[in-house]
């Protein structure tokens, strides 16, 4: 069962470009990435698209389909009607290189700014002991495939380029939370989260969670708990007092 | 791309439309906007109205506890007039700041009103109409971090409202062992409020979220697990308890103003 | 030399940023060398993320009887003794340390009850051995290594004020040529994907870690990157490849629907109770257990089914035979007309476990197929068949240093040959990456230390030649479309040099490859140098054709069937062919040529880990001479003389072997742990069997969106809403399960 679908794809580079119309064959069981590949093989051999595994595991083929940030390999054609025009554009938050390919180096820069895991100095490899319940929270965050859809969707940087300097974005605030919840991490990360990585810019409107293809509960399980931990450290006189007294003992 | 070797002059893709979403993404914020506005209007009116809030044995949640001396006598119900008699306005205004603060700083409501009222953002991947954005980094929004204190206050209120519901097991003369439809209404209201409060993110943090090692605190881990489970329904509970409070107040109003007579079961 | 080329200087250039490449880079950097990591796609997207099962390492956390000797034995058995025994030995010995050090860098493996790394069963492994994280172990591994690279960069930032002072990632760069100075590596030439900018790396040492060759095949689990770049670069630099005919076809890749065609269904599905049935509904694997494995596998469905809960007293189900056996069996069923409508067989877990249990144990399998193709594996059987998955052959390397025959050229991971023999065990590739990635980094660092001031120089003429070669498809007008040649190549390799090979077919393939080679010289790629996929494919085709040539010629040469090489006209293993490595290099015309070289002999102490009766299935009598227990029993002589794996005196041997295996294990266990922790280990094993335990910990917010939002989506995108609905029905239990499985 195949039909001819109407596609609009953003073509261009160096920022300038436009939506171009294509008519293309669609078969049963296909996803948007299949269609882009068909365009490449039949009508536009130089159409740039980034992809790798085509199985929703590598997070390369991020784009915006009908305005919604998605992985193209995870967007089934059966979710659209046959007469619908499907618009595919590059991620809007990052500079475009060409067509559907954007420069995502922002994310790698931010990744480098999060201090690495710091295990207890005296612990030898092979002697690590952790309970399953203690690793599960961080394990959820390590499901992240770094598709950067959350980074792209978050309005704090999507609508405000100037915030890119002082806001790490959901993916890397989640990385801070992951390390803070790691049972063997010894670093104090709460101040950094707020001061260096801009946790305060998050206004928990949950778009990161909405677009996450791995269904990680970024807001509820990482960002909000991290905000609460920061509040412990920075904004809670009672906890502060409690710690002071406890340390005296 | 490569890390660091890219020409710096790159810009974002030029796309005219502020969003290309084709679904009705504006429905959710619009509904939120209308309902919240309606609630605010109703609550403001009722708070200033200063009458029809006690229909023995039922007290409206907007007026309990009464901490000034200028309210209708409500035998048994939260009469702790500790601020004395100087207050002349509606007594509701004195206490509503606490539940209001709890909801204003609630992580779910924040999402809802940032989206619906402030359009920051109106919906995901839809451009927001503001030139500058600082999130919750500075005054006044930095006070959202006080949510945990409102959580504690809200819990105290829940105790009082639960007591109010128990007082509902009296008849109009104050004798125990009776029950009417109002009793059920008050009980339902208290239950929803407890569920909403217990499912709060701050509660989840206090119960066990702040721990590094669950395995060393099995009891708190269990508590955290329960709260986490409730927390997944925090949004639904926020809405349900909001309607709960408004409807309970409405019920008391209707009974107190003799529009409706409370059916007694026994 | 052209001026439009960016030039960099490094001590070590690592080509490939998957597990092996990153591990090599980390080691070279740890040895104080400056390192460039060349990454064909984005950093952290390499094919390693696709590995699901786990990393095999004999840590003995779940079963204390496990040790490196047992792991070595399993690896050799799996590889049908074509392995380089020293590599198999190093791998088995070092894998635990490599896995443990990942924890130092922040990896979070699933845990046992006592807090150690949990290990799971996998095909071909005698004990639960695979360290894992749910079914996303590859992702964990690559993310951990990526973060370890970052932590080195942070260290350099603190010391030099520059993150990239001593280790830099060149993402979306492709190397097209290695450059030599005489017989030594001097550098590498390539282009930057995003703008076609040419880049030159001057470096005395290059580590190849480019992975496999799957994109030469039509049905494959591999991504577009897997075009055999490292194999081809090595050949062109004068290095040699071994045993390229040995290609693993994963037995269970999806064959339907098309959006998931080629995607693997992890072996865990079978480990957790999934069974293979033909179109008649018969569980056919019982008919395909080879004699070598007969005593380890169940003979009845009842016994097989008992194994899942009581592995100590029952033999394992035949669905867990090594991959090549399973792939071959499926192929036979399909050929016999008992396949599914789309040319596969049914893999059924839906009728074997409750839906909730399937979701809990195989969360990402479940979600993957649900989301990619709307296939519910808890409700219907999957249609699976062999898909090109892994190449065992590769660059011929020195086991200890990972050095190739070209000075300064090293190779690790899938691109290197020898470690896995003719067939790789599941779980051995992740540990292979770590063990030999590290050794390659170390090898490169040592090599540079020996060079001192005598560093090789890049020759300008070579750079110009590489540049001209790379520009050809852009400059040649009105030539053929590279996509056409590529798809014909894939079809040819799939049909003629696929899982089952016949002499005349392979010969025909070699002829066709000759034609493709001529056509490749006249390809054109319209468009500019800016992120132009047509141009990139035209360049990659050279590599695919070179590698395919080696594969086809070796497949024609080897007249036996062994592991990942099955010849219909020579269906059995031959003890004389076992001694032969087929070594592929390029002749003056740039075509593949083959040589026979002996497989390195197995040291006596390693041979003694096996029963003589087992060795007889693989080896000639002369090779076994002098081994204890080599009393030439009358039947045995006869058996050993036959070049065939059918052993008559099996029954006797079985008993004898069983007895010895037990003693060996007992000794090993004692040697390993001062106090035998057998009891404890058994408890751990039981705990493991019960796992995934009920953990409600993370039953977090499933439906955090406003209900109205869902309504609005329903209006516009019905199927999406449907998926949402299904999920919210699946609800708490699914989310619990997902977390619990970890």
DSSP annotation of C267:
T
Please state the rounded mean pLDDT for residues C86-96: 98
- Helix/strand/coil for C519: helix
Round the average pLDDT of chain C to a whole number and report it: 84
pLDDT in tens, chain A (249 residues): 789 999 999 999 877 899 999 999 998 778 999 999 999 888 888 899 999 888 888 999 999 999 999 999 999 998 999 999 999 999 999 999 999 999 999 999 999 999 999 999 999 999 999 999 999 999 999 999 999 999 999 999 999 999 999 999 999 999 999 999 999 999 999 999 999 999 999 999 999 999 999 999 999 999 999 999 999 988 888 877 877 787 765
3-state class (DSSP) for residue C283: coil
**What's the rounded Cα separation, in Å, for the pair C486 and C224?**
11
- How many Å apart are CA C694 and CA C308, to the nearest integer? 19
Q: How many domains does chain C have?
A: 1
- Which chain B residues touch C701 with a CB distance below 8 Å? 231-234
| CA–CA distance, C621 with B172 (Å, rounded to integer) | 105
Q: What residue numbers bound the domain in which C374 lies?
A: 249-388
| Residue B223's pLDDT band (cuts 50, 70, 90) | very high
Residue C73 within any structural domain of the chain: no
Residues of chain C found within 8 Å of residue B214, distances taken between Cβ atoms: 697
* Helix intervals (H) in C497-620: 503-520, 533-557, 575-578, 604-607, 612-618
Map chain A to HEC letters: CCEEEEEEEEEEECCEEEEEEEEEEECCCCEHHHHHHHHHHHCCCCCCCCCCCCCCCCCCCEEEECCEEEEHHHCEHHHCCCCCEEEEECCCCCEEEECCEECCHHHHHHHHHCCCCCCCCCCCCCCCCCCHHHHHHHHHHCCCCCCCHHHHHCHHHHCCHHHHHCCCCHHHHHHHHHHHHCCCCCCCCHHHHHHCCCHHHCCCCCHHHHHCCCCCCHHHHHHHHHHHHHHHHHHCHHHHHHHHHHHHC
Burial A18-29 (b: 16+ CB within 10 A, else e): ebeebebebeeb
Contacts of C580 (CB under 8 A, 6+ apart): C558, C596, C597, C598, C599
| Active site annotation includes C323 | yes
Which of C47, C697, C717 is opposite residue A133, by nearest beta carbon? C697
Nearest Cα to C426, choosing from C109, C131, C82, C142? C131
Q: Mean per-residue pLDDT for C507-535?
A: 92
Quick one: tokens of C212?
């496999």
Average pLDDT, integer, range B55-65: 91
| pLDDT tens-place string over residues C216-237 | 998 888 888 899 999 999 999 9
Residue with tokens 């070289």: C597
Q: Per residue in B215-228, is it b (16+ CB within 10 Å) or e — as a string? A: beeeebbebbbbbb
The helix-helix angle for C482-496 and C503-520 (nearest 10°) equals 170
Provide the pairing of β-strand C580-586 with C592-598.
antiparallel
Please give the pLDDT value at position C705: 32
Q: Is the pLDDT of residue C464 over 80?
A: yes
Confidence band for C719, pLDDT divided at 50, 70 and 90: very low
Crossing angle (nearest 10°) for helices C68-78 and C85-104: 120
CA atoms of C212 and C244, how far apart (whole Å) = 11
Identify the active-site residue in C120, C323, C501, C520. C323
Structure tokens at C149: 């690279």
Asked if residue C483 is part of any domain, the answer here is no
| Identity of the residue in C100, C258, C742 whose CB atom sits nearest the CB atom of A30 | C258
Nearest in space to C24 (alpha carbons), one of C10, C8, C9: C10
Q: Return the exposure string of B23-52: e unless at least 16 CB atoms fall within 10 Å of the residue's CB, then b.
A: bbbbbbbebbbebbeeeeeebeebbeebeb
More confident residue, C676 or C24: C24
Give every CB contact of residue C474 below 8 A, 6+ residues apart in sequence: C524, C525, C527, C529, C532, C535
A118 CB-near residues (< 8 Å, 6+ apart): A185, A186, A187
Distance from CA of A42 to the nearest CA of B (A): 25
Would you state the pLDDT for residue C649? Answer: 36
Angle (nearest 5°) at CA C657 between C652 and C658: 105
Least confident of C167-176, C240-249, C576-585, C685-694: C685-694
Residue C688 has a pLDDT of: 38
CA-based nearest distance A106→chain B, Å: 9
Q: Residue B69 pLDDT > 80, yes or no? A: yes
pLDDT band (50, 70, 90) for residue C375: confident
Q: Does pLDDT of C259 surpass 90?
A: no
The span from the CA of C564 to the CA of C424, in Å, is 9
Residue C558 lies in a domain: no
**Cβ contact, residue pair B234, C701, below 8 Å:** yes
pLDDT of residue C477 exceeding 90, the answer is no
Minimum Cα–Cα distance from C173: chain B residue: B2
What confidence score (pLDDT) does residue B9 get?
61
| Inter-chain CB proximity C696 and B225 less than 8 Å | yes
Does a structural domain hold residue C53?
no
Nearest-CB residue to A205 (from B21, B114, B232): B114
Q: Which residues of C touch B26 (CB under 8 A)?
A: 712
Alpha carbons within 13 A on the beta-carbon side of C299: 3
From the CA of A244, how many Å to the nearest CA of chain B?
Answer: 17
Residues of A in contact with C525 (CB under 8 A): 45-46
ipTM: 0.95
Q: Is residue C425 part of a domain?
A: no
Place of tokens 């990052």: A94
C312 within a domain of the structure (yes/no)? yes
- CA distance linking residue C447 with residue C444, whole number of Å: 5
Judged by DSSP in three states, C580 sits in strand
Tell me B154's DSSP state: H
Percentage of chain B surpassing pLDDT 70?
95
- pLDDT at position B77 is 67
* CB-count burial class (<10 Å; 0-12, 13-18, 19+) for A69: buried
Q: DSSP for C125-183?
A: -SS--EE-STT-HHHHHHHHHHHHHHHHHHHHHHHHS-TTSSEEEEETEEEEEEEEETT
C-alpha C460/C-alpha B37 separation (Å) is: 74
Quote the DSSP letter at residue C119.
Answer: E
The whole-angstrom distance between B154's CA and the closest CA on chain A is 17
Predicted confidence at residue B10, as pLDDT, reads 80
pLDDT at B87: 87
Q: Which of C355, C135, C143, C171 is nearest to C264 (CA)?
A: C135
On whether residue C435 sits in a domain, the answer given is no
pLDDT at B79: 67
What pLDDT score was predicted for residue A11? 95
The shares of helix, strand and coil residues in chain C, as percent rounded to the nearest 5, are: 45, 15, 40
- Across residues C674-682, what is the average pLDDT? 36
Q: Is residue C361 part of a domain?
A: yes
- Does C734 score more than 50 pLDDT? no
Tally the C-alpha atoms within 13 A of residue C61's C-alpha that lie toward its C-beta.
29
Q: What is the pLDDT of residues C277-295, one digit of tens each?
A: 999 999 999 999 988 888 8
pTM for the complete prediction?
A: 0.86
**Most confident residue range from C314-328, C553-567, C649-663:** C553-567
User: CA nearest A104 in C: which residue?
Assistant: C42
Residue pair A132/C111 in contact (Cβ under 8 Å)? The answer is yes
CATH code of the domain covering residue C268 = 3.90.700.10
Work out the pLDDT band at C632, boundaries 50, 70, 90: low
B 39-98: CB under 8 A from C: none
- Name the β-bridge partners of C198: C5, C191
What distance in Å separates the CA atoms of residue B106 and residue B116, rounded to the nearest whole number? 15
pLDDT at C741 over 90: no
Which residue on chain B is closest to A156 by alpha carbon? B133
Confidence of residue C655 (pLDDT cuts 50, 70, 90): very low
Other residues' Cβ atoms within 10 Å of the Cβ of residue B263: 9
Give the CA radius of gyration of chain A.
22
For residues C148-175, give the mean pLDDT.
96
Question: Structure tokens of A45?
Answer: 């051999």
Residue C730 has pLDDT above 50, yes or no: no
The H or E element that residue C71 is part of is: helix C68-78
Mean pLDDT (chain B) is 92
* Surface-to-core class of residue C576, CB atoms within 10 Å of its CB (0-12 exposed, 13-18 middle, 19+ buried): exposed
Average pLDDT over residues C616-627: 88
A229 touches chain B (CB under 8 A): yes
Average pLDDT of span B161-174:
92
**The two structure tokens encoding residue A54:** 């085509």
Three-state SS for B152?
A: helix
Question: Stretch C170-194: mean pLDDT, rounded?
Answer: 96
Closest CA to C304 of C290, C291, C289: C289
Dihedrals φ, ψ of A173, to 5°? Answer: -70, -35
Q: What is the mean pLDDT of residues B231-238?
A: 97
Q: Which of A239-243, B198-202, C360-364, C554-558 has the lowest mean pLDDT?
A: A239-243
What chains are in contact with C, requiring at least 3 Cβ pairs below 8 Å? A, B
């Amino acid at each position: 069962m195949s039909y001819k679908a109407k596609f609009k794809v953003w073509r261009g580079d160096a920022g300038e470009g436009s939506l171009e119309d294509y008519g293309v064959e669609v078969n049963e069981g296909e996803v948007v990435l299949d269609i882009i590949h068909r365009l490449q093989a039949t009508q536009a051999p130089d159409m740039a698209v980034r992809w790798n595994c085509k199985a929703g595991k590598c997070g390369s083929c991020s784009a915006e389909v009908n305005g919604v940030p998605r992985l193209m390999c995870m967007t089934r054609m059966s979710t659209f009607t046959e007469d619908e025009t499907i618009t595919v554009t590059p991620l809007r938050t990052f500079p475009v290189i060409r067509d559907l390919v954007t420069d995502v180096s922002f994310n790698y820069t931010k990744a480098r700014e999060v201090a690495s895991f710091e295990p207890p100095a005296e612990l030898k490899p092979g002697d690590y002991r952790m309970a399953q319940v203690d690793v599960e929270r961080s394990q959820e965050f390590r499901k992240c495939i770094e598709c950067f859809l959350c980074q792209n969707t978050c309005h704090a940087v999507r609508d405000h380029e100037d915030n890119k300097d002082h806001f790490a974005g959901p993916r890397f605030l989640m990385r801070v939370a992951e390390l803070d919840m790691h049972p063997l991490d010894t670093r104090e990360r709460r101040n950094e989260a707020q001061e260096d990585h801009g946790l305060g810019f998050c206004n928990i409107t949950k778009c990161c969670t909405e677009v996450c293809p791995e269904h990680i509960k970024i807001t509820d399980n990482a960002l909000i708990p991290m905000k609460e931990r920061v509040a412990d450290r920075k904004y809670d006189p009672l906890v502060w007092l409690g710690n002071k007294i406890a340390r005296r003992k | 791309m490569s890390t660091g070797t890219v020409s710096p002059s790159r810009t974002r893709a030029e796309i005219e439309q502020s969003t290309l979403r084709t679904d009705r993404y504006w429905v959710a914020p619009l509904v939120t906007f209308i309902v919240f506005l309606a609630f605010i209007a109703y609550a403001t009116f009722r708070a200033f109205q200063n009458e029809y809030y006690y229909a023995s044995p039922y007290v409206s949640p907007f007026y309990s506890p009464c901490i000034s001396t200028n309210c209708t006598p409500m035998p048994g119900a939260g009469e702790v007039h500790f601020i004395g008699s100087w207050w002349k306005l509606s007594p509701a205004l004195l206490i509503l700041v606490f539940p209001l603060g709890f909801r204003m700083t609630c992580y779910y409501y924040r999402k809802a009103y940032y989206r619906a009222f402030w359009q920051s953002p109106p919906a995901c991947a839809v451009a927001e109409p503001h030139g500058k954005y600082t999130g919750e980094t500075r005054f006044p929004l930095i006070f959202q971090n006080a949510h945990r204190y409102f959580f504690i206050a809200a819990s105290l209120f829940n105790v009082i409202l639960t007591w109010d519901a128990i007082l509902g097991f009296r008849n109009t003369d104050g004798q125990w062992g009776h029950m009417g439809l109002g009793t059920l209404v008050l009980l339902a209201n208290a239950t929803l409020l407890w569920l909403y409060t217990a499912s709060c993110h701050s509660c989840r943090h206090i119960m066990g979220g702040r721990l590094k090692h669950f395995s060393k605190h099995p009891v708190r881990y269990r508590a955290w697990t329960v709260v986490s489970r409730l927390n997944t329904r925090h949004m639904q509970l926020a809405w349900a308890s909001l309607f709960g409070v408004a409807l309970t107040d409405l019920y008391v109003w209707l009974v107190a103003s003799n529009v409706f007579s409370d059916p007694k079961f026994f | 030399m052209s001026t439009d080329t960016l030039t960099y200087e490094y001590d070590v250039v690592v080509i490939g940023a998957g597990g092996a490449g990153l591990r090599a880079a980390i080691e070279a950097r740890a040895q104080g060398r400056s390192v460039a990591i060349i990454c064909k796609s984005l950093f952290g997207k390499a094919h390693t993320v696709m590995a699901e099962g786990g990393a095999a390492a004999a840590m003995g956390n779940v079963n204390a009887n496990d040790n490196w000797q047992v792991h070595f034995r399993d690896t050799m058995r799996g590889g049908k003794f074509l392995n380089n025994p020293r590599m198999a030995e190093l791998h088995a010995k070092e894998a635990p340390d490599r896995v443990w050090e990942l924890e130092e860098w922040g990896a979070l493996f699933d845990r046992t009850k006592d807090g150690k790394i949990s290990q799971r069963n996998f095909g071909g492994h005698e004990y639960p051995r695979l360290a894992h994280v749910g079914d996303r172990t590859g992702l964990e591994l690559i993310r951990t290594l990526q973060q370890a690279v970052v932590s080195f960069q942070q260290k350099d930032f603190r010391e030099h004020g520059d993150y990239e002072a001593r280790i830099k990632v060149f993402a979306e760069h492709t190397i097209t040529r290695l450059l030599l100075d005489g017989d030594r590596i001097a550098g590498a030439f390539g282009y930057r994907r995003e703008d076609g900018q040419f880049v030159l790396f001057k470096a005395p040492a290059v580590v190849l870690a480019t992975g496999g060759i799957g994109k030469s095949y039509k049905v494959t689990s591999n991504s577009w990157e897997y075009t055999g770049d490292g194999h081809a670069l090595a050949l062109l630099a004068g290095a040699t490849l071994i045993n390229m005919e040995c290609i693993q076809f994963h037995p269970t890749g999806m064959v339907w629907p098309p959006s998931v065609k080629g995607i693997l269904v992890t072996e865990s599905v079978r480990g957790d109770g999934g069974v293979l049935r033909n179109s008649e509904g018969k569980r056919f694997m019982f008919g395909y257990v080879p004699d070598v494995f007969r005593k380890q596998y169940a003979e009845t469905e009842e016994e097989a089914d008992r194994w899942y809960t009581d592995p100590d007293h029952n033999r394992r189900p035949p669905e867990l035979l090594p991959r090549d056996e399973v792939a071959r069996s499926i192929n036979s069923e399909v050929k016999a007309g008992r396949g599914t409508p789309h040319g596969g067989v049914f893999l059924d877990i839906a009728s074997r476990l409750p839906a909730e249990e399937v979701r809990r144990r195989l969360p990402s399998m479940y979600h993957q197929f649900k989301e990619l193709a709307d296939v519910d594996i808890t409700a219907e059987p999957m249609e699976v068949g062999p898909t090109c998955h892994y190449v065992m052959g590769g660059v011929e390397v020195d086991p200890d240093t990972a050095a190739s025959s070209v000075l300064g050229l090293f190779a690790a991971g899938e691109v290197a040959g020898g470690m896995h023999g003719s067939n790789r065990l599941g779980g051995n590739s992740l540990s292979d990456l770590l063990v030999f990635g590290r050794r390659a980094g170390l090898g490169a660092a040592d090599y540079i230390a020996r060079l001192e001031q005598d560093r090789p120089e890049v020759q300008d003429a070579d750079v110009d030649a590489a540049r001209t070669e790379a520009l050809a498809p852009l400059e040649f007008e009105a030539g053929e479309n590279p996509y056409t040649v590529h798809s014909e190549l894939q079809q040819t390799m799939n049909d003629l040099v696929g899982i089952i090979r016949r002499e005349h077919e392979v010969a025909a393939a070699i002829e066709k490859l000759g034609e493709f080679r001529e056509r490749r010289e006249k390809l054109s790629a319209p468009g500019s140098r800016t992120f132009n996929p047509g141009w990139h494919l035209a360049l990659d085709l050279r590599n695919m054709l070179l590698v395919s040539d080696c594969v086809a010629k070796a497949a024609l040469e080897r007249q036996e069937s062994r592991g990942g090489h099955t010849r219909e006209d020579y269906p059995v293993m031959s003890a004389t062919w076992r001694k032969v490595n087929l070594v592929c290099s390029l002749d003056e015309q740039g075509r593949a040529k083959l040589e026979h070289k002996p497989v390195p002999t197995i040291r006596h102490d390693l041979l003694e880990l096996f029963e003589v009766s087992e060795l007889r299935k693989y080896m000639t009598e002369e090779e076994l001479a002098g081994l204890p227990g080599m009393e030439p029993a009358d039947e045995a002589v006869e058996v050993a003389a036959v070049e065939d794996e059918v052993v008559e005196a099996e029954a006797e041997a079985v008993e004898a072997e069983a007895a010895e295996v037990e003693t060996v294990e007992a000794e090993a266990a004692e040697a390993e742990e001062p106090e035998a922790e057998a009891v404890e280990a058994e408890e751990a094993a039981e705990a493991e069997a019960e796992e995934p335990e009920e953990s409600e910990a993370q039953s977090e917010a499933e439906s955090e969106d406003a209900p109205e939002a869902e309504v609005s989506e329903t209006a516009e995108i019905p199927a999406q809403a449907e998926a949402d609905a299904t999920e919210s029905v699946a609800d708490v239990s699914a989310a619990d399960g997902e977390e619990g499985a970890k």
